Amino acid sequence: MRWNKISDAVIRRLPLYLRVLDDLAEDGDTELISSQELGVKAGVGPALVRKDLAWFGEFGKQGVGYEVSFLRDELRKILNLDQELAVALVGVGSLGGALTRYHLKRFAEDPSFSLNLVALFDTDPKKVGTTIEGIPIFALDQLEEQVQALGIKLAMITVPADQAQKVADLLIKAGIQGILNFAPVKLQAPTGVQVASADLSLELQRLAYYIPATNEN
């Protein structure tokens, strides 16, 4: 089931709540959590927690709170994380290789992490046909074929900025509807395709603002 007219800001906060609930479930010591506690751990206000969750149903009881295991299961269903989803990565450079290893480690060690990286793509003929930790690297012109064959639903882009839009277009043509872009460029995508950007340089520049200046008079 998909809910219409829910802002992306709400959807972005759901994984924060889920992470808190995953941690609590792993500890196994907490059966109930209040909106106040959930908000503090997720870094948002309790009223916003209640408002966000109310979009999808009634999950808690006033004066009691939320049952951790139940809310966790419901959020996983809402986010489509109650099933394994196949993921691809395009651009097997330094960043792509590091992300691949991180992703595989997370998938292997965390039973609740259902995003499975199954294929890598690159234009370098020296890389095509090899593997990283057992994950095959295909040529970019094999992308559409492998997306269909492996049932890939999501993709990450770690190519240079001047190649990112071309890669995004190929992914969209192949049927990918969710793209995580690590290239420092804004991608254009049609309605129905969700694009999220993780621009490391912009985030570092933002953080630099908070560093005390050393040349102040």
Encode pLDDT of 14-68 as tens digits. Answer: 999 999 999 998 887 788 999 999 999 999 999 999 999 999 988 977 778 899 9
Distance from C-alpha of 50 to C-alpha of 45, rounded to nearest angstrom:
9
According to DSSP, residue 188 is labeled P
Closest CA to 116 of 142, 154, 77: 154
- If pLDDT is split at 50, 70 and 90, which confidence band does 1 have? very low
* CATH 1.10.10.10 boundaries in the chain: 8-78
Distance from C-alpha of 52 to C-alpha of 7, rounded to nearest angstrom:
10
pLDDT value at residue 112? 86
For the domain bounded by 8-78, which CATH number is listed? 1.10.10.10
Closest CA to 94 of 159, 155, 152: 159
Closest CA to 49 of 63, 66, 28: 66
Cα torsion angle, 90, 95, 101, 106, sign? negative
* Residues across the chain: 217
Is the domain defined by 85-203 classed in CATH 3.40.50.720? yes
